Amino acid sequence: MSKWVAERTKLFDSSGIRKVFDLGAKLKDPINLSIGQPDFDVPPEVRKAAIEAIESGKNGYSLTQGMPVLREKLQKQVDEDYGHDDRQLFVTSGTSGGLLLAMMALVNPGEEVIVFDPFFVMYNALAAVVGGKVVTIDTYPDFRIDLDRVAEAITPKTKMILFNSPANPTGAVASEEEIRGLAELAAERGVVLLSDEIYRAFCYDGEFISPARFNPETLVIDGFSKSHGMPGWRLGFAHGPGEIIQQMIKLQQYSFVCAPHPMQWAGAVAMDTDVTAQIDAYRRKRDMLVDGLSDLYEIVRPGGSFYIFPKAPWGTGEEFVHRAIEKYQLLIIPGNIFSHKNTHFRISYAASDETIRRGIEALRQLAKEGA
Ligand code: PMP
């Protein structure tokens, strides 16, 4: 019935990543380093809080902006962190929910949205769905933000810069200088800076820095999916200038309605849960993978999230990944899913040490195969 399908569905294609998952589903004992979610479970006290919320009847709609138990606690945290006069916050249906609402609230058809390449897959798709024109800035080979290039890319039509640090798929963490520069540039040129901070907890070599520190008009989207291993619970939040947040809440009322109600009670408990041990384990996994591959692969040592993004040592990113799956049952993601380039591939180390060890062994064989 393709004659009925709206034009916007043709603006992007998800077949590439699905192909990897379809291939993976057929394998008996894959080495799965493709997963974009933590391998640790939700902390027990948070699970308990969710069960209690359900058992005690917190199953109706929540307030559109989120239940006070969570929203006020998050707002207090944000006020303490930034001290901005006009920074409001609401609870979203995952970070993705916040991202879609931000696009709907801000981007008019024909307006330009600046995205750094490599990018998180959803950015280009959502910007296009609301009629925006995506302008990409290539950050290869070191995945740093070149402020001159950003300044050049801003036109009278630019509405938004999408920023993500720590990043998916590269693991790159922008420096304070880059973040401050980007924040000041956005303020100077009057464009919205949208900061996707979902990997905030996963900073291994220093503290997390938000551009909101340097630009009070920064719109932040964040969530619990990665930090507390609960991507299936669909709990996120957004904070930024009051007028934007109010418009996003209005759009939420007529779309998502609210974030899952019982999970908001659990989210309030999650805020008091220490995940340092999980983060420490991921730092170690990063080191294990980088140390295990650096002599054979071109790798930019990542400072955060749980991905590394090496260059394929031979062939295109896609050819390399195809071979990895076929020969070693190793599931990794070709870089062209996240990029206009087809040269790299993404490894997720959100996996057991044993899986990572098997992955390193297979990747070492694969690199030698090309030589
Ligand atoms: N932003 C980035 C950069 C991500 O990697 C992801 C998840 N893969 C999301 C947003 C969406 O997360 P959520 O589960 O909170 O919707």
318-340 pLDDT, tens per residue? 999 999 999 999 999 999 999 99
> Which pLDDT value is given to residue 90?
98
Residues 197 and 251 placed together within one structural domain of the fold: yes
Ligand 1 pocket, mutate which of 14, 34, 96, 126 (most atoms under 8 A from CB): 96
Q: What whole-number distance in Å separates Cα of residue 180 and Cα of residue 210?
A: 9
Cα 96 to ligand 1 centroid, rounded to whole Å: 6
Q: What whole-number distance in Å separates Cα of residue 366 and Cα of residue 370?
A: 7
Cα 365 to ligand 1 centroid, rounded to whole Å: 32
Domain that holds residue 62: 51-270
Residues 90 and 229 placed together within one structural domain of the fold: yes
Express each pLDDT in 175-218 by its tens digit. Answer: 999 999 999 999 999 999 999 999 999 999 999 999 999 999 99
Ligand 1 pocket, mutate which of 103, 170, 226 (most atoms under 8 A from CB): 226
Query: pTM of the entire structure?
Result: 0.97
Residues 280 and 311 placed together within one structural domain of the fold: yes
CATH number at residue 342: 3.90.1150.10
**Structural tokens at position 164:** 């993500």
> Which pLDDT value is given to residue 17?
75
Whether residue 26 is predicted with pLDDT greater than 90 in this model: the reply is no
Residues 72 and 221 placed together within one structural domain of the fold: yes
DSSP per position, 229-247:
T-GGG--EEEEEEHHHHHH
Residues 178 and 162 placed together within one structural domain of the fold: yes
Cα 368 to ligand 1 centroid, rounded to whole Å: 34
Q: Which of 239, 270, 301 is the last residue of a domain?
A: 270
Residues 32 and 62 placed together within one structural domain of the fold: no
> Which pLDDT value is given to residue 233?
98
Left, alpha or beta for 182 (phi > 0: left; psi -120 to 50: alpha)? alpha
Q: What mean pLDDT comes out for the span 287-314?
A: 98
Residue 56 CB neighbour total at 10 angstroms = 10
Nearest to 153 by CA among 189, 184, 118, 183: 189
Q: Which of 241, 270, 299 is the last residue of a domain?
A: 270
- Residue 20 is classified by DSSP as H
Left, alpha or beta for 143 (phi > 0: left; psi -120 to 50: alpha)? left
Q: At 137, which helix (H) or strand (E)?
A: strand 133-138
Residues 193 and 238 placed together within one structural domain of the fold: yes
Residues 77 and 30 placed together within one structural domain of the fold: no
Residues enclosing ligand 1, CB less than 6 A? 36, 94-96, 120, 164, 168, 196, 198, 223, 225, 231, 236
CATH number at residue 74: 3.40.640.10
Residues 123 and 252 placed together within one structural domain of the fold: yes
Whether the Cβ atoms of residue 74 and residue 89 lie closer than 8 Å to each other? yes
> pLDDT band at 22, cuts 50/70/90?
confident
> Which pLDDT value is given to residue 20?
78
Cα 198 to ligand 1 centroid, rounded to whole Å: 6
Cα 94 to ligand 1 centroid, rounded to whole Å: 8
Q: Which amino acid appears at position 318 of this protein? A: E
> Which pLDDT value is given to residue 18?
77
Nearest to 34 by CA among 320, 298, 349: 349
> Which pLDDT value is given to residue 23?
77
**Structural tokens at position 219:** 């719109």
Express each pLDDT in 87-131 by its tens digit. Answer: 999 999 999 999 999 999 999 999 999 999 999 999 999 999 999
Express each pLDDT in 29-75 by its tens digit. Answer: 899 999 889 999 999 999 999 999 999 999 999 999 999 999 999 99
- Give bridge partners of residue 90 from the DSSP assignment: 238
CA 108-89-307 angle, to 5 degrees, is: 80
Average predicted confidence (pLDDT) for the chain? 96
Residues 259 and 185 placed together within one structural domain of the fold: yes
The total domain count for the chain is 2
Q: What mean pLDDT comes out for the span 6-28?
A: 82
Q: What whole-number distance in Å separates Cα of residue 225 and Cα of residue 260?
A: 13
Ligand 1 pocket, mutate which of 122, 221, 306 (most atoms under 8 A from CB): 122
Cα 327 to ligand 1 centroid, rounded to whole Å: 30
Whether the Cβ atoms of residue 50 and residue 262 lie closer than 8 Å to each other? yes
Q: Which atom of ligand 1 is nearest to the CA of 120?
A: 3
Residues 142 and 66 placed together within one structural domain of the fold: yes
Q: Which amino acid appears at position 188 of this protein? A: E
Whether residue 371 is predicted with pLDDT greater than 70 in this model: the reply is no
Cα 99 to ligand 1 centroid, rounded to whole Å: 9
> pLDDT band at 16, cuts 50/70/90?
confident
Residues 106 and 161 placed together within one structural domain of the fold: yes
Express each pLDDT in 223-282 by its tens digit. Answer: 999 999 999 999 999 999 999 999 999 999 999 999 999 999 999 999 999 999 999 999
